[in-house]
């Protein structure tokens, strides 16, 4: 418990009660999956978004195999981007997460993992969508 004392309460809350932990079927056409790793420590984060017809994120889930700050960062990120458009979600910066969770400098890369993960999920969703549209156009 001693090592936790330096952390801000919000980190501990997101660490002890992470929001939106789980999985969504990767194959669903409206799900984008981001999977990223931190070279510095080997931690891995998976973040998934479900996007509605208006391009708004309706659901978010994550699984993080990593340190407490990475788990707290992904938990924070899932709450932050729910209800956002893809454009808005792509603009959430790791510096915001680090500030909100009061992460110390050595833990900055943990929040960067969350930024990378949402960007990667958005890209995956967009790639899938383009493929789907191209296929529909080819069939028309
Ligand atoms: Fe970095 Fe978990 S591997 S603290
Ligand atoms: Fe590497 Fe936190 S993600 S120490």
The CATH T-level fold of domain 2-139 is: Sufe protein. Chain: A (3.90.1010)
Q: Please give the distance, rounded to the nearest whole angstrom, from the Cα atom of residue 74 to the centre of ligand 1.
A: 14
**All residues at 6 or more sequence positions from 25 whose CB lies less than 8 Å from its CB, including other chains:** 31
CA distances 66 to 46, 110, 116, Å, are 11, 9, 15
Residue nearest to atom 2 of ligand 2 (CA): 110
Q: Please give the distance, rounded to the nearest whole angstrom, from the Cα atom of residue 38 to the centre of ligand 2.
A: 7
Task: Single out the residue of 24, 91, 27, 95 nearest to residue 58, CA to CA.
Answer: 24
Q: What are the boundaries of each domain within the chain?
A: 2-139
Helix (H) or strand (E) holding 19: none
Average pLDDT score over residue span 70-94: 97
Average pLDDT score over residue span 5-33: 85
ipTM above 0.95, yes or no: no
Q: From CA 35, how far away is CA 49, in angstroms rounded?
A: 12
Helical segments of 36-93, H only = 68-81, 86-89
Tell me: the pLDDT tens digits for 18-27? 999 999 999 9
Query: What pLDDT, on a 0 to 100 scale, did the predictor assign at position 14?
Result: 85
Q: What is the CA radius of gyration of the chain?
A: 16
| Adjacent-strand bridge partners of 64 | 45
pLDDT at 1 over 50: no
Q: What percent of the chain has pLDDT over 90?
A: 79
Query: What pLDDT, on a 0 to 100 scale, did the predictor assign at position 7?
Result: 59
Query: What pLDDT, on a 0 to 100 scale, did the predictor assign at position 2?
Result: 43
Query: What pLDDT, on a 0 to 100 scale, did the predictor assign at position 6?
Result: 55
Residue nearest to atom 4 of ligand 1 (CA): 67
Average pLDDT score over residue span 115-133: 97
Q: Please give the distance, rounded to the nearest whole angstrom, from the Cα atom of residue 102 to the centre of ligand 1.
A: 17
Residue nearest to atom 3 of ligand 2 (CA): 110
Positive or negative CA dihedral for 31, 12, 105, 93?
positive
């Amino acid at each position: 418990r001693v090592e936790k004392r330096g952390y801000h309460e919000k980190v501990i809350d997101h660490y002890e009660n992470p929001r939106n932990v789980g999985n969504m079927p990767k194959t669903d056409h409206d799900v984008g999956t981001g999977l990223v790793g931190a070279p510095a420590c080997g931690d891995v984060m998976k973040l998934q978004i479900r996007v509605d017809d208006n391009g708004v994120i309706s659901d978010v889930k994550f699984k993080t195999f990593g340190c407490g700050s990475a788990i707290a960062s992904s938990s924070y990120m899932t709450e932050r981007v729910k209800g956002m458009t893809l454009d808005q979600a792509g603009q959430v910066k790791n510096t915001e997460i680090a500030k909100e969770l009061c992460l110390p400098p050595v833990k900055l890369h943990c929040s960067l993992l969350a930024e990378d993960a949402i960007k990667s999920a958005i890209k995956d969703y967009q790639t899938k969508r383009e493929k789907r549209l191209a296929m529909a156009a080819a069939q028309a």
